[in-house]
Amino acid sequence: MLMRLGRWLRAAGYDTGLAINGENDRDLFQRARHENRRLLTRDHKLQEYRHADGTVILLRGNALDEQVHELGQRLDIDWLYRPLSRCLVCNTPLNNDAPDDIPIPDDIDRNSLQHCPGCGRVYWEGSHSRRMRRHLEAWQQNT
């Protein structure tokens, strides 16, 4: 349920794991502990596990903006930490090694390409990334 928030944390540059399809609560919790991560959830049952304190962060908001606000009260989030430096899909840090033959729109500067060595996706600066940056900037100013 917090997938959107998770993708935005990736957009801000944070190393963010997401729940895997079909992963049960216990496995998710164990994985978070094992990987030394905070577990953001709206599921209050997760708070009842042993050692949940310090790992589980329970958010109540339904809307993304509410969740961003709540999270800001619990953790010191810098929404401009490393904007758009990670793959939104697989979380791998991006590099500048996009293959030369990758097809991109004509008006995109090839030097702006960022490449995900994890899944092969290519990102570039355009209207979508500019919109994302504006979101991150707004959150940073308001939290």
By CB under 5 A, is residue 61 in contact with Zn ion?
A: no
Integer Cα distance of 51 and 54 in angstroms: 7
Give the H or E element holding residue 29: helix 25-34
87 binds Zn ion per the rule CB under 5 A: yes
Residues 6+ apart with CB under 8 A from 60: 42, 66, 70
Q: Specify the residue, 41 or 91, whose C-beta has the smaller distance to Zn ion.
A: 91
Which stretch in 47-55, 64-72, 74-82, 121-129 sits in contact with Zn ion by CB under 5 A?
121-129
**What DSSP element (H or E) covers 56?**
strand 56-58
Quick check: 113 binds Zn ion (CB under 5 A)?
no
Q: Which CB sits closer to Zn ion, 40 or 116? A: 116
- Reading the block at residue 67, the tokens are 């969740």
| 39 membership: H or E segment, kind and range | strand 39-41
Q: Among 21-29, 51-59, 64-72, 87-95, which window interacts with Zn ion (CB under 5 A)? A: 87-95
Interface residues with Zn ion (CB under 5 A) are 87, 89-90, 92, 116, 118-119, 121
